[in-house]
Amino acid sequence: MGTTGVLIGVVVDSEIAMVVVGILGAFIGGLVGWAGGRIFLIIICFGVLMGAFLGYRTGDRDILIIASGTGGAIAGFIGAQVSLFLKNK
């Protein structure tokens, strides 16, 4: 999550945003990991990376941002379903 925060700072071209959002993302990621949501977080990160890859292929920065967020949201939904399935076993 910290890496995602740093990349947001890179996209908006602000060094202050890289530091602040990177620290905030690392804190939130640590909190999720502490709560036991590591598989859920990995699935979301994979979705963000897939969305970023597809958005990068378009060549437009705005589409890159939207595609990354959409990939994370869809992966979050799938991750919630997977975590519910794994708890039932």
Across the chain, mean pLDDT equals 80
Q: What is the pTM of this model?
A: 0.60
Any idea what DSSP says for residue 32?
H
- pLDDT bucket at 22, cuts 50 / 70 / 90: confident
Tell me: do 22 and 48 sit in the same domain.
Answer: no
Domain total in the chain: 2
Range of the domain at 43: 37-89
pLDDT of residue 31: 77
| 69 and 89 within one domain | yes
Task: Classify 13 as helix, strand or coil.
Answer: coil
Residue range 23-45: mean pLDDT, rounded: 78
- The DSSP 8-state label assigned to residue 89 in this structure reads -
